[in-house]
Amino acid sequence: MKRTTYISAAASVVLIAGGPVAAATAASADTARTVTTAAAAVPAAETAEEASAAALKHYPGVVESLDEDGTVWQVDVISKDGKGHAELEVAADGTVTELNRDTDENATEHKDLLAAKVTAEQAMKAALAAHPGQVWSVSWEDDEDGGAHYWDVEVRSSDGKTWNAHVDHATGKVTQSGSDSDDGDDTTDDTN
């Protein structure tokens, strides 16, 4: 009987001492799962394409412009009905901050953008196909003199050159592009 008491007492000491360690280990495992889940819920937005996707997930619509600004992306999104406009800031970790939201836009001002067959995302892909690199900005351009609408996409290549490409809003064709090199020498070429 004494032997059973000693074994029971020894087992109790192990359980008492090991209980907090086991509980801490279990808590650490739960915290690790929670952190991993939280990180997976917000995809990174290190590229223009990722920033666009994060902005559209936050505010569904059509990207009107996107521009890299230091460590964040500035993204303007027009709602699908043309009456809403959101100015968003997308951090590299995918966090979206809404800077401004309007709900009383004149929908006719955005009718051409909303009717464009080529989206900002497709324009970025077309520009990258013509000039490999990384997109730094994309914006919807409408010539106020009745000219054609197009996407203006800025691509920076690995050699330090910046390419400005005009992408046709209906076909996705890169209709004009130019390069600005680091030495200030500008060259322009038409790719048809």
Alpha-carbon distances of 165 from 18, 23, 179, 189, rounded to whole Å: 65, 59, 9, 10
Residues 151, 58 share a domain: yes
Residues 135, 58 share a domain: yes
Residues 80, 22 share a domain: no
Q: What is the side-by-side order of every strand in the sheet holding 149-156? A: 96-102, 85-91, 72-78, 62-69, 134-142, 149-156, 162-168, 174-180, 186-189
Residues 137, 77 share a domain: yes
Residues 103, 74 share a domain: yes
Residues 100, 36 share a domain: no
Residues 2, 84 share a domain: no
User: Does the predicted model carry a pTM greater than 0.75?
Assistant: no
Which tens digit of pLDDT belongs to each residue from 90-130?
999 999 999 999 999 999 999 999 999 999 999 999 999 99
CA atoms within 13 A on the CB side of 94: 11
**10 lies in which domain range?**
1-41
The tens place of each residue's pLDDT in the chain, 192 residues long, gives 444 444 444 444 444 445 544 444 444 444 333 333 333 345 678 999 999 999 999 999 999 999 999 999 999 999 999 999 999 999 999 999 999 999 999 999 999 999 999 999 999 999 999 999 999 999 999 866 566 789 999 999 988 899 999 999 999 999 876 776 544 433 334 444
- Number of domains into which the chain is organized: 2
Residues 102, 27 share a domain: no
CATH of the domain at 113: 3.10.450.40
Please state, in angstroms and rounded to a whole number, the distance separating the CA atoms of residues 163 and 3: 85
Residues 76, 129 share a domain: yes
Residues 111, 37 share a domain: no
Token pair in block for residue 52: 């666009």
Let me know: does 127 contact 174? Beta carbons within 8 Å: yes
Residues 57, 31 share a domain: no
Residues 99, 26 share a domain: no
